[in-house]
Amino acid sequence: MLVIGFVGFPGSGKSEAAAIAQTKGFVSVAMGDAVRSHMHKSRVSLSEKNVGTIANKLRADHGMDVIAKMCIPVVRGLTVQKVVIDGIRGIAEVNAFKEEFKGDFKLISITAGPMVRFERVKGRSRPDDALNLERFEEKDERELAWGLEEALEAAEYSIQNEGTLEELNSNVSRLLEQLVQEPSKNIITISLRTPIYETESQEKVEHAILNIFPDAVLERVDDFIKGTSSTLETFSILLRTQQIRATAKTELMKGLAFDSFEFYLNKQVAMVGKVNFSQDPLGPILVRVTTPLPEKLIDTITTRA
């Protein structure tokens, strides 16, 4: 999964850049939506002052990265390969996304001068915008206190946005094309799921999955253990050591789709660190692998020496 983050001062053009990314196939996750959703649930009216107050309180109560952490499950829950995060405002949020998505997270700063940004903010008149210069400057100071300057410095790429929307479109589109082109060849997302019954130990079920996918991040959701992994390395090694690569290729090809393949593993056998594709009376481990070239990946993991 490629995750793009846009960072910048209010009115710099972050939301416009995110909208452009959506036209390129990215799904947008707006950090402001997490705050506004919290306000709605708490029955707090939407205004620039209230948004700032609630955002500050959330950070004071739960840490400067709290809003990023509210968004991460949203991103992980998407069944897509390209996501854009709109509204990063501090270095703690940048660090949270980097820790979660590692090298798949790319940060882009959108910059513009203060008066250019102020005129834009006045023109869009969103309910949470500061519509006079004093309030606008206060909002800049508030976001600087959240670590915005450090976040801007951490950006790997920067786009100046003081021209037309067409110029921004061109610059953002060109950079996104560059970021998507190379990494997409190697992106692999592995989704894992298995039922868990009252008679089973959650620790043992999770251990069974980790025997095959040692980097998996797992959680219990109702009566299922679910998680994600990013590598088939251990799985491939087990196929070789158990000498079942031909059998594995047949099983994996059964679940081949356009951009993915899926297969089932016997949970009980996985508990002893082995791969087996037979049925499991307590429910199998469902593995779904999403990748641009699924058939080539199947061939790689079932034939390499």
Dihedrals φ, ψ of 157, to 5°? -140, 150
| Mode of pairing for the β-strands spanning 82-88 and 27-30 | parallel
Residues near 52 by beta carbon (within 8 Å), at least 6 away in sequence = 139, 142
How would residue 262 be classed by pLDDT, with cut points 50, 70 and 90? very high
Contact 117, 10 (CB under 8 A): yes
Q: Which residue type, as a one-letter code, is found at position 40?
A: H
- β-bridge partners, 290: 189, 260
**Would you state the structure tokens that stand for residue 54, as one six-digit string?**
């609630």
- β-bridge partners, 247: none
pTM: predicted TM-score of the whole model, two decimal places: 0.54
Burial of residue 284 (CB within 10 Å: 0-12, 13-18, 19+) is buried
Residue listed under structure tokens 């600087």: 144
Domain architecture of the chain: domains with CATH:
2-185 (3.40.50.300), 189-303 (3.30.1440.10)
Give me the percent of the chain exceeding a pLDDT of 90: 48
Predicted pLDDT at 15? 87
Residue in 24, 12, 243 with CA at minimum distance from that of residue 4 = 24
Dihedral through CA 77, CA 83, CA 89, CA 91, nearest 10? Answer: 80
How would residue 294 be classed by pLDDT, with cut points 50, 70 and 90? confident
Residue listed under structure tokens 């090809």: 253
List Cα–Cα distances, 71 to 51, 68, 112, 164, in angstroms: 17, 5, 26, 30
Q: What is the pLDDT of residues 158-189, one digit of tens each?
A: 999 998 999 999 999 999 988 887 544 557 89
How would residue 1 be classed by pLDDT, with cut points 50, 70 and 90? confident
**Would you state the structure tokens that stand for residue 95, as one six-digit string?**
């660090």
**Would you state the structure tokens that stand for residue 206, as one six-digit string?**
């999770």
pLDDT(46) > 70: no
pLDDT(69) > 70: yes
Give the chain's radius of gyration (CA, Å): 23
Measured distance CA(167)–CA(162) in Å, rounded: 9
Give mean pLDDT, residues 118-146.
73
Q: What is the pLDDT of residues 186-243, one digit of tens each?
A: 578 999 999 999 999 999 999 999 999 999 999 999 999 999 998 999 999 999 999 9
Q: Chain-wide mean pLDDT for the chain?
A: 86
Least confident of 42-51, 95-104, 159-168, 275-284: 42-51
Measured distance CA(173)–CA(177) in Å, rounded: 6
Contact 11, 112 (CB under 8 A): yes
Measured distance CA(93)–CA(69) in Å, rounded: 8
